[in-house]
Structure 1
Amino acid sequence: MGPRDEHTQHGHGEETNVVYLPTDRDDTPTVVDAEVVEDGGGERVPARTDQARQAYNTRLIPTAARERMATGAVVAVRRATPVAVAGFKGAARHAVYLANGAREVRARWRDEHSAGRYERQMRAAEMEGNHERLLEWEARDTAEKQRRHDRKMDWLDAPGKLIKAGATGLAGLAGFLLVLGFFTFFVSGQTDDIVGPITGVIEAVAWVVWLVSAGWMVLAGLAVATVVAYLHHQGRRSGDTPAWLGAAPGEHVRPDSDVDESMIMSALRNLGHSALNRKFKEGWGSTVQPTWVQPPLPVGNGWEFVLRLPGGVPATTINDRKVVLAHNLGRRPEEVFIDIDSTDPQAMKCLVLDPGSLRDPVPDYPLVESGQTDFFTGFPVGIDARRNEVVTPVFERNFVKAGTMGSGKSTGLQTELAGAVLDPVVDIDIFCFAENNDYEWLRPIASTLSTGDTAENVEACIAHLESLHESLAERGRLFREHNIDSLTRTAAEADERLRPRIVVIDECQSFFRQDKPEDRKRLVNMVVRFYSAARKYGIVLSFATPNPSDDSLPRDLMAVTSNKSCYAIGDKTRNNIVLGDKAHENGLSALGLKPMKKQGEKIISLNDVGTSISVGYSDEPGVLRSYNLTKDQKATIVARGLELRGGQVTRTKRAEPEDRDLLDDVAAVIAPDEDRVKATDVCARLRKLAPNYRPYVGSKATGKTPLNGDELKEQLDALGCKVTKSSVLWVYADRVRHARTSREGGSG
């Protein structure tokens, strides 16, 4: 008997359709585990658990199939989990929107129907220390409370008035309808027409009641949907949704560059400012609404706002944490500018640039093809943070630029010199203490162009400045002749001796480097005196260095500098040398700027090349992005400059330093019949021998005094000619001859 027959027999002949799973087994049943159970008739039924276990035994499934099943299960879980989490977060987020919306509506209703608004404004005025505003809101609060009291008293009389008004209205309506019915009766002669209008009104009311009762579910549904949508919208606008419930942005979504009030307040809450945090805990920004002197408004390529801060929180302390504020606003530190508002000392004025806007391309130089500049009104040099053109004053100004290699100092200098080229009355002098090609394009039009880190170039620059310093006296006399107090364009065009000059000293760290401290002191004093005096006479100096320090930019020099630009720099000490004491702490910092990145001769990234933090170029300190001139544009500008000058360029003859030998000069001034001469007399004779040689005659410009006996002794002793003192210093002729012979290799 087969399995099917056996099963039929045990099932008492009932027809049962059993489908067996495919298994690898023979037809002979093998009992592995069994027990005897009694059925209703007491007949023993053998168990078939061995067949069931074999049918559902997953170990019989091939290994590869089991691995595919396991992998599929893991993938399904991984795919389903984010969907489930997103679904849960979405449902929770929308529920929070509804709760927030209900809270917002409730708070708004309470605000409109209570004294909360007035109390909040009074607390804000008290926090700001504005007593006048506090008294004003106290008066408004008192008036509002009186009005609310009067309204409540009116409600006590309202029920009687409403009943009376309702009865009067119904009586009037009934009378009107009866009159209308009588008119209808007189026309038709039908008695029923007398009450016809009243009957019609009653039927109309009944129809409206029926319509409302029939469609109340639809109307209620629409009303509920409208309320839910309104609450959802209000809750979503509130921005109080927990961060963990926020929707994850897709990869294509970029951070929003817009700045609004909620974003600003959130950035201030996370600023880590202890005094401001206390004000937040006291209710500023929540129950006490902040005062926006100017709400966030788009300006150029950024946003600007003016916010009145609570008492005890000056804007300068916010500036101390500008790096954190910029981070909270999603900006780089150099893209955020904080200052005290000029019209409200309690308010913070802040400019927040769009992310990356400082690296957008700068427009072309505006005067390449046409137009000319005016030394007395200013030169176009670039654009500011708002992308407005910056035209800097030049007359009675002087300039300093500093920044690391590749930061764009030369770009800024060349832009300013392009302005000088396009004014035909301006002469240009350039001293660059490095061998490079930065200024060769100006050689056809420059009055002086001297390059090289050599002692001769330093001496030539000093001689040129001394010559210009001495010319100030002549310019002063010419001012009297032209009856002017300071240089004017009319005078400069009428007399070429009054032509304005721009003197550039690039790599000035080499210029100020002197072996002896006293020589450096004299040089610095000379430059500072000339620097301060020359501006009135139309002579402008411009210094540039990659290494700002007290050695390369003396403190006295920086104290009288009007226009300062700091490009990408390495530390705040150097930043403050250029921009002023505590400039970095006050928010004027170029530390975030990055120089151009190069690999060999290939430019990897321009970064912030040509961008500087500047003082004196505009009404307010800030970002200055210089124009960038191409090689062809430079050639065009020089050609136009030569054309404006009629092809004539005033060349300055380079003052070559005179080379003299002290021993030879001393021997020349001692007469053959003199054995010895007083040192002071030798000095006088040397000045007469070489009246233009500054080491002998001194220099008023540098402050160097004429050669004296003590200095002569020191110099002759160094040359092997001993000067002895017998009451006075004496120079012996035989010792001079011996020193000369010894120097030339003779035996004496």
Structure 2
Amino acid sequence: MSIHNGAAVEEKLPPLKLIPPPTESAPEAAPQPAAKPERRRLREGVRVVLADDRTRDTYRYIVRHGAYLAGGASIVYRRAWDSRSTSRHERMQRTAEAAGNIEEAKEWEERAHRFRQARHQRRMEMLAAMRQAPKAVASGAVAGAGLLLLLGIALAWANGDVKDVITPAAFFVDLIRWAFFIGSVVWGPAKMALPALGLFALWRVGQQRQAAPQWALPAKQRVEGEAITPSIVVKAFRDLRIGELKKAILAMEDGAASMLSPIVTAGCGVEVDVTLPSSVSTDEIMAKRRKLAENLNRHEHEVYVSIAPAARTVRVWIADSGALDEPIGPSPLVTDASLTADYKSGRAPWGVDLRGDAVLISLFQKMVLVTGLSNQGKTASLRALALWLAMDPTVEFRIGDLKGIGDWRMFLGLATILIEGPTDDHVISVTEMVEDVFDEMNRRLQAPEGTVFKPLVCIVDEAQVAYGSGARETYIDDKGNVKYGAPYGGAKATSRYFRAVKGIHDQGRIVNVLIWEGTQDPTDQNLPKRSREGNHIRAALVLGTKSQAEMALGEAPVEKGAAPHKLRQGYDKGQLVAAGEGVPLAPGQVSLNIRTHFIDGDDAAEVAERAKTLRNRVATLGRPQAVEQRDELADLKTVLGSEDRVRTPEVLHRLKNLSESYYKDWDGSRLKRVLTDVGEDTGTYKGYPVVNRDRVLRALAEHE
């Protein structure tokens, strides 16, 4: 309400509403189509172009030919500089010093001195010639003019025309005019062609020397690796990221040449000894093997680092790039049909070392262990030794193959026992075989002194099956309770297999009783410590870890550079690291890398057939036969009958008729020992050795 001219005037207000009136909404903007950002499209386009093979080929082509041109210019410049300076002499002198060839270094120094003297003499002669040049030019001009005048006089005299006096001079002037004319015509194109010809010449030099990065060269021209020189070795050691080593190298006045021995060719590579500064240990270098290989432009498996005999020195063997991937030749057992073996003095051709030299192994009284990961050539490596030894007809084999797929089947007719199979029953048979070999060893040890025994080699392949087996002897006692005897397999001291193997390791070599084992993936469970350390030759193919390498070879060889765990699984099949007696090691060397000869199944069968022709074919048994038990004194009483005395040879003959299998190896000394063990002895009658019946009866009574 408001007051207007003294009268109240009522205003009309809009009605109050609790719900606000609807507001008119602005029309919604039409959705814009999602546009792909230009930058993203550009990036994807560039990525597609760069990923295309044609782009890569074009890029390689441009870089390659550009590098040819730049490299050719650098080479020509270096040649020109070398021809005008002593840089080449100094370079060769440093190389000779680094190689330790002092005489050659002195010779290059003398050559540089003579070159400087000759260069100085030429410069002095050039300065003198420049002072004499005006006189020489004037003298030449006068002499030339005089010669032309004399020719003109002679020509005028001959023709009778005085005008001919100037004819030679006029001809010479015309010749000069034509030369200038031809030069003016040719100079234009030549001025354009000469730079192009020069660039082509530089490009050609670069192409011939392949002065381009390896990745830019055509595939057929690429060569990995480069020649090993002292400077490359020093640079590789300098860049190992060992601070003390780098400081010491940079501080050496001779460019670290004194660190290196002469680089010598060693098979398919080179070898060099590197003496380290006192602040750097050999362990630091050996731990950097991969980095060292990369610095030398090699793969890790192409560089081997070991400790040299000299103090604080490492020996580095560097393979030619790709050389270790080339196959080696066949085994002499395959190529030489006349090859024979001698257990005592011979050496088995096992393969070649990294230098390509043949590796010959002595097996005389040697226990052998070969281990590695599965399917890396373990069985073939072990079998190669056995095939060579089979060429000696005096050697007896007893073989247990706990894989059982025929890897050793060619020894049928060679081995007296061949067990094949992976089950517990086969483990039991192999255990009994090894125990029989152990018993044979004990019988030989008790034989009279001086007795000569034929070699007996027991081979157990896939021995981890025996060490891991839980097979046990089960029997029922008098009360009907089930009892368990000692386990056949296993790695504990109660294992019958382990005890027999360890017993053979301890004393078998003395009487030519040996055991060879092949096992895979060694651990303390499948290859006990006491068992693996009883072997004279220990060899390992590819292994997974350093700890496995130490189990296989021992800690000392691994600490000094043996590295079967650095071999490449699947690529280095048949290559092993061997240590121990019988392995041909240089003084101070503790292990040897061997690329073993592979003898496939057909070739192995052929070699085995040749071995069978050298010996009497034997009936191979599938499991050891039970040893016949006999009462030897009772047998003596039986063969003597009622006679008071019988000559010893006749007694032996009667015993063999009684049991050929048991008494076939008996002789007089063995017969004598039967009686002396119970306090009796054989005797003599009229100078002949005899066995007295009374003494046998007393011995029998004492024995009972």
Q: TM-score, normalised by structure 2?
A: 0.59
**Alignment partner of 2:376: what SS?**
coil
Q: In the alignment, which of 410, 418, 442 is matched to residue 466 of structure 1?
A: 442
Hey, what does 1:589 align to over in structure 2? 563
Alpha-carbon distance in 2 for matches of 1:202, 1:88: 57
Hey, what does 2:397 align to over in structure 1? 429
Alpha-carbon distance in 2 for matches of 1:80, 1:650: 71
Alpha-carbon shift at residue 196 of structure 1 (Å): 3.5
Q: 1:109-508 alignment to 2 at 5 Å?
A: 109-120=80-91, 138-232=109-203, 253=219, 256=222, 258-261=224-227, 271-272=240-241, 274=243, 277=246, 304-305=269-270, 312=277, 320-327=287-294, 332-337=299-304, 348-352=316-320, 354=322, 357=325, 367=334, 370-375=337-342, 376-382=345-351, 392-395=361-364, 399-421=368-390, 423=391, 425-432=393-400, 434=402, 436=404, 438-449=407-418, 452-454=426-428, 456-469=432-445, 473-475=449-451, 499-506=454-461, 507=463
Contact 1:429 1:448 in 2 (8 A): yes
Contact 1:427 1:650 in 2 (8 A): no
Hey, what does 1:723 align to over in structure 2? none
Q: For the structure 1 residues 166 and 472, does the alpha-carbon distance in structure 2 shift closer, same or farther, using more than 3 Å as the test? A: farther
Alpha-carbon shift at residue 351 of structure 1 (Å): 1.5
Hey, what does 1:720 align to over in structure 2? none
Alpha-carbon shift at residue 413 of structure 1 (Å): 1.8
Alpha-carbon distance in 2 for matches of 1:555, 1:408: 19
Alpha-carbon distance in 1 for matches of 2:492, 2:60: 72
Identical counterparts, % of pairs:
20
Alpha-carbon shift at residue 209 of structure 1 (Å): 3.0
Q: Are 1:644 and 2:614 counterparts?
A: yes
Amino acid in structure 2 at the alignment position of 1:460: D
Contact 2:351 2:360 in 1 (8 A): yes
Alpha-carbon distance in 1 for matches of 2:199, 2:555: 59
RMSD: 5.8
Alpha-carbon shift at residue 551 of structure 1 (Å): 3.3
Q: TM-score, normalised by structure 1?
A: 0.56
Alpha-carbon shift at residue 200 of structure 1 (Å): 3.1
Gapped regions of structure 2 (runs ≥ 5): 1-31, 421-425, 468-488, 587-591, 632-676, 678-704
Amino acid in structure 1 at the alignment position of 2:611: G
Which string of whole-angstrom CA distances, capped at 9 and with x for unpartnered residues, describes residues 115-134 of structure 1? 44455456566667776666
**Alignment partner of 2:341: what SS?**
coil
Contact 1:399 1:541 in 2 (8 A): yes
Alpha-carbon shift at residue 159 of structure 1 (Å): 1.3
Alpha-carbon shift at residue 256 of structure 1 (Å): 4.1
Alpha-carbon distance in 2 for matches of 1:190, 1:353: 84
Alpha-carbon shift at residue 409 of structure 1 (Å): 1.9
Q: In the alignment, which of 483, 486, 505 is matched to residue 527 of structure 1?
A: 505
Q: In the alignment, which of 551, 558, 561 is matched to residue 528 of structure 2?
A: 551
Amino acid in structure 1 at the alignment position of 2:300: P
Alpha-carbon distance in 2 for matches of 1:404, 1:70: 53
Hey, what does 1:610 align to over in structure 2? 574
Alpha-carbon distance in 2 for matches of 1:93, 1:369: 50
Contact 1:100 1:235 in 2 (8 A): yes
Q: For the structure 1 residues 389 and 140, does the alpha-carbon distance in structure 2 shift closer, same or farther, using more than 3 Å as the test? A: closer
Amino acid in structure 1 at the alignment position of 2:563: S
Q: In the alignment, which of 589, 596, 599 is matched to residue 625 of structure 1?
A: 596
Contact 1:427 1:447 in 2 (8 A): no
Q: For the structure 1 residues 583 and 90, does the alpha-carbon distance in structure 2 shift closer, same or farther, using more than 3 Å as the test? A: same
Alpha-carbon shift at residue 78 of structure 1 (Å): 6.1
Alpha-carbon distance in 1 for matches of 2:64, 2:250: 27
Amino acid in structure 1 at the alignment position of 2:613: E
Q: For the structure 1 residues 214 and 388, does the alpha-carbon distance in structure 2 shift closer, same or farther, using more than 3 Å as the test? A: same
Alpha-carbon distance in 1 for matches of 2:275, 2:95: 8
Q: For the structure 1 residues 353 and 119, does the alpha-carbon distance in structure 2 shift closer, same or farther, using more than 3 Å as the test? A: closer
Alpha-carbon shift at residue 167 of structure 1 (Å): 4.5
Q: 1:667-706 alignment to 2 at 5 Å?
A: none
Q: For the structure 1 residues 148 and 394, does the alpha-carbon distance in structure 2 shift closer, same or farther, using more than 3 Å as the test? A: same
Contact 1:502 1:541 in 2 (8 A): yes
**Alignment partner of 2:565: what SS?**
coil
Q: For the structure 1 residues 187 and 526, does the alpha-carbon distance in structure 2 shift closer, same or farther, using more than 3 Å as the test? A: same
Contact 2:236 2:296 in 1 (8 A): yes
Alpha-carbon distance in 2 for matches of 1:565, 1:121: 44
Alpha-carbon shift at residue 566 of structure 1 (Å): 0.8
Q: For the structure 1 residues 411 and 505, does the alpha-carbon distance in structure 2 shift closer, same or farther, using more than 3 Å as the test? A: same
Hey, what does 2:548 align to over in structure 1? 574
Q: In the alignment, which of 507, 512, 515 is matched to residue 493 of structure 2?
A: 515
Contact 2:393 2:614 in 1 (8 A): no
Amino acid in structure 1 at the alignment position of 2:400: C
Alpha-carbon shift at residue 395 of structure 1 (Å): 4.7
Alpha-carbon distance in 2 for matches of 1:625, 1:504: 19
With 186-195 and 283-292 compared, the bigger mean Cα shift is at 283-292
Q: For the structure 1 residues 270 and 406, does the alpha-carbon distance in structure 2 shift closer, same or farther, using more than 3 Å as the test? A: same
Alpha-carbon distance in 2 for matches of 1:362, 1:125: 36
Alpha-carbon distance in 2 for matches of 1:72, 1:275: 52
Gapped regions of structure 1 (runs ≥ 5): 1-61, 477-496, 596-605, 661-705, 707-748
**Alignment partner of 2:427: what SS?**
coil
Contact 2:82 2:88 in 1 (8 A): yes
Contact 1:505 1:542 in 2 (8 A): yes
Alpha-carbon shift at residue 207 of structure 1 (Å): 2.5
Contact 2:99 2:261 in 1 (8 A): no
Contact 2:505 2:514 in 1 (8 A): no
